[in-house]
Amino acid sequence: MQHEKRFVTLEDTLGRVAKFATILSPDGISVRMLNYTGDEKGRWDNLKTVEDVRKRMETVQYLAGTPLGTRLSSNVLEPMILSKAKCGSLRKPVIVVMITDGEGSAFLTWTHSMSISS
């Protein structure tokens, strides 16, 4: 019961964040799940409404033990920010919000902080 409550809370929080994010970026937002592979290849890009986000969330199966730092780097920082910044195609500021169910298997480490600042 407690396990499922965490996921309901996570989805509710994401819905609230998505509400504001879609106002700030009406052309659409991108959502990435750090322990889920169904968000690959742009399937979770250009989401324009909270309902778009909620529909995607219905497909997620939660797994325990996410290596937060590693997945943040490989799923978000490198493909969505760093690679675009390096080649000059980063067209607007990027706001990264990480919402967790509280069960990561490793501490978040900022391995790319030097790359971002340079």
Task: Say how far apart CA 24 and CA 33 lie, in whole Å.
Answer: 21
Q: List pLDDT tens digits, range 4-63.
A: 788 888 899 999 999 999 999 999 999 998 888 888 778 899 999 999 999 999 888 877
CB atoms within 10 A of CB 83: 12
Which is more confident, 111 or 51? 51
Q: What is the pLDDT of residue 2?
A: 53
Query: CB-hemisphere CA count at 13 Å for 109?
Result: 6
